[in-house]
């Protein structure tokens, strides 16, 4: 990190810490995790140096799997040496629906309880037909994973919040997937960007949410159903639009088990320390 960026980051952390100072017990008491995609540009340069950076931030959990320039065996060893545990892995929709047994094998290698799918294939807009197909696929694949001691989690991406009947297409997915086989991972930014209230959504489907991607979105960015926004719109937690104290309280109430920072911004190196300071500053 350049000296100017470091100085800005330090000043912002101090400023935010003072702004967020509260009395009471810490609201967030879980280990801090990170989604490996956050470091997609750093891992190809040096896996070891990137993991050392992650360790230095106090991050002890990761959602993976391994980057392309490191074998699963090598990456698992490097994580263990730094006290970082893989607690979830992502799987592509096509891969998990065509060959769920291979995904089970990978999950068992990493010794994780959760596998998340972050995108349902669809055309220009996400339709009820897309949702119905996803429901059928998730119920089928989810049972295979559950029979092997693994829980399938669908990660919302914003496009699912289009209106359908008296709710949304996400409501359709939640109501028609079997809770025994299908759970969810809340992506805070994408839920908000799609027009949902993340805290209310957590309470609405209490018991279904297992994990969370910690993200905030730049002030002034309008909501839409595209499931996409420029990566520069990812900002440090507490500096964007989302009511994060409300989200963290709801997450604690509904029993979220794993929290992963996912910062897609090119400025993530400066933003992640700010995010961690904010999370630690929250009080009940």
Asked if residue 19 has pLDDT above 60, the reply is no
Q: Does the bond joining 65 to the residue before it have cis omega, within 30 degrees of 0?
A: yes
- pTM for the predicted model, two decimal places: 0.92
So what's the pLDDT on residue 9? Answer: 53
So what's the pLDDT on residue 89? Answer: 98
Average pLDDT over residues 144-154: 98
Among 10-19, 40-49, 158-167, the range scoring the smallest mean pLDDT is 10-19
Asked if residue 161 has pLDDT above 60, the reply is yes
So what's the pLDDT on residue 157? Answer: 98
Average pLDDT over residues 70-75: 98
Average pLDDT over residues 42-56: 98
The DSSP string of 158-181 is SGGGSEETTEEHHHHHHHHS-TTT
Per-residue model confidence as pLDDT tens digits over 80-133: 999 999 999 999 999 999 999 999 999 999 999 999 999 999 999 999 999 999
CA distances from 226 to 2, 31, 53, 118, 159 (A): 35, 32, 33, 14, 6
Question: H or E element: which one contains 213?
Answer: strand 209-214
CB-side exposure of 241: number of CA atoms within 13 Å? 19
Average pLDDT over residues 146-158: 98
Asked if residue 13 has pLDDT above 80, the reply is no
CA distances from 79 to 45, 85, 131, 191, 264 (A): 17, 7, 36, 30, 21
Asked if residue 273 has pLDDT above 60, the reply is yes
Per-residue model confidence as pLDDT tens digits over 195-218: 999 999 999 999 999 999 999 999
Asked if residue 252 has pLDDT above 90, the reply is yes
State the Cα–Cα distance between residues 278 and 181, nearest whole angstrom.
Answer: 34
* Domains of the chain as residue ranges with CATH: 27-266 (3.20.20.150)
So what's the pLDDT on residue 258? Answer: 98
């Amino acid at each position: 990190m350049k000296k100017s960026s470091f100085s800005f980051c330090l000043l912002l952390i101090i400023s935010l810490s003072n702004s967020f100072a509260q009395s009471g017990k810490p609201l967030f008491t879980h280990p801090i995790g990170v989604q490996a995609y956050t470091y997609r540009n750093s891992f190809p340069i040096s896996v070891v140096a990137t993991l050392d950076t992650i360790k230095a931030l106090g991050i002890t959990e990761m959602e993976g799997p391994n980057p392309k320039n490191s074998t699963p065996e090598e990456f698992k060893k490097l994580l263990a040496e730094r006290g970082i545990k893989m607690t979830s892995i992502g799987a592509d929709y096509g891969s998990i629906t065509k060959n769920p047994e291979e995904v089970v094998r990978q999950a068992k290698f990493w010794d994780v309880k959760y596998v998340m799918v972050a995108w349902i294939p669809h055309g220009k807009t996400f339709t009820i037909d897309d949702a119905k197909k996803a429901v059928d696929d998730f119920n089928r694949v989810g049972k295979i994973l559950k029979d092997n001691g693994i829980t399938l989690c669908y990660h919302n991406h914003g496009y699912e919040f289009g209106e359908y009947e008296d709710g949304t297409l996400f409501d359709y997915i939640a109501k028609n997937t079997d809770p025994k086989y299908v759970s969810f991972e809340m992506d805070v930014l994408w839920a908000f960007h799609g027009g949902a209230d993340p805290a209310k959504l957590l309470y609405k489907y209490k018991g279904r949410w297992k994990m969370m991607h910690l993200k905030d979105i730049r002030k002034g960015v309008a909501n839409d159903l595209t499931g996409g926004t420029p990566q520069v719109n990812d900002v440090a937690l507490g500096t964007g639009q989302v009511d994060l104290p409300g989200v963290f309280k709801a997450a604690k109430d509904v029993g979220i088990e794993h929290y992963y920072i996912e910062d897609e911004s090119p400025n993530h190196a400066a933003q992640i320390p700010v995010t961690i300071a904010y999370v630690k500053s929250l009080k009940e």
